[in-house]
Structure 1
Amino acid sequence: MPEHDPGIPVHLSTSSVYPQDAAYAFDLAERLGYDGVEVMVWTDPVTQEAGALRALSRLHGLPVGAVHAPTLLLSQRLWGWEPWGKIDRSIQLAADVDAGCVVVHPPFRWQRDYARGFVEGVAMRERLTGMPIAVENMFPWRAGTSELQAYLPDHDPTDEDYAHITLDISHAATSGSDAAQMARDLGERLTHLHLGDSLGSFKDEHLVPGRGSQPCAQVLQHLASSRFPGVVTVEVSTRKKDTQQREQDLAEALAYARAHLVAPAPSG
């Protein structure tokens, strides 16, 4: 019978408990049996402070697997307006908490100077710091029949010369991409996975895996069979749920991930 690969940890993103804070995320991750936590740098001051994160990590016995830089549209003012400054502070925070990588989004279209040297700037920082910077796939913004390519060089990082990439299954659905094919095509460049489902609408849904139409199971099985060296992070939206529903959803997401992180049985 196929077995869960204990070598692929399943972490909980602090964004999955929003609007609750990082302390709640660590506590919940421990209670539900997650292997670690991904920290989204946000207005919660704990997410910005290495000492506080190390204390939570020790208290709950859970590592910080990744730091997600504050590159969301709603966090543009966090840590100042200079984009590279945000990345550099995120790299330092990740190093201070022993995280395995920094997750970043491609530049917005209006950040033209930042975008012009983004690919090279990511590579340079990886060389100087030794910290993997995993660029995440995004999606066009759509309204009715209109479509805006909101990211530069592109919302899809797979054609750019990045050494490390984060695959977000919900984002792939919103862009109309096949996440399973992306995972296969990325090969060793696939460094980090954001696990969340979608019904394929133009909205970025981040559903509990198994509740949408995306190939979540196939992606997880591919990771197990290829001995993926990174982390699977559950990133689902629970912001409209009460506490009981949120915790049930995140328990279900963890169970789904572990059920499908299976490697093929040896032949014979």
Structure 2
Amino acid sequence: MKSWTKFITDYKSYLKIERGLSVNSVENYSLDINRLVRYLEGTGQDISPLKITEETIQDFIYKMAEELNPRSRARLISGLKSFFNYLVFEDYRKDSPMELIEVPKVGRKLPDTLSTEEIDDLIRAIDLSSNEGERNRAMLETLYSCGLRVSELVGLKISDLFFDEGFIKITGKGNKQRFVPIGNSTQKYISLYRDSMRNKLEVKKGHEDTLFLNRRGSGLTRAMVFTIIKRLAEAIGLNKSISPHTFRHSFATHLLENGADLRSIQLMMGHESITTTEVYMHLDRKFLNKILNTYHPRK
């Protein structure tokens, strides 16, 4: 529908230029609007985004309830709210048709957290006599000690290592870069892998600067890292559903439990919003009581 095309294009430019969102994020936002447009086309309703009413959108949401789970529906409503808020902000509309539409309540499912003992057990289960042993130990130590996403781990380059300064440079979502502190022990394991195993590989063209390589001299895939962790969990009989993200989650949780502030954790993890970091505030009441009794003036 032509009446929607211009507004969607302008909205995508706004998200990219003024809000600085990545290409993937911008496309995800536009998918929500396009789903609404397809619904209007399918029901023969030629309504512009400037004239569409709350009732029409509510009918659309009811229809989507047949196809989407509550979490997906909540994301859809959030995307539409953002679009119509943009139209109001730009004075295309006086009000948003989304104002009274409620977002379905969804529980925020947190992944399992590993204890430090479980992380130690997983790392001890690595067969260091194998060709990939030193690499796997260095990878898991880096995942946990730096709180990386798996995509950041497999994309880590040798030129990103600034060991003299005690940092590594990480390229995260939307190609946003940040510097993350790295401890001496993790530096030691990375150096050991680089000097004892990686240097012996015949590195494929294009991967000369890639830190973690497979046995054929190419970069690892995220699926390979997932498989390595799953096999280690099976080897120690760990009765938890874990993935590379479990190490990142454990990194944040353990920092918070030991007194680190949310803002510092946010910077290290590369979260765009502090609300994303706040998901790690799922600690037991004893810890929260300790914080209150330590820092509140009315303790």
The alignment's TM-score, normalised by the length of structure 2, stands at 0.21
The alignment's TM-score, normalised by the length of structure 1, stands at 0.23
Higher relative contact order (CA 8 A, sep 6+): 1
**Structure with bigger gyration radius:** 2
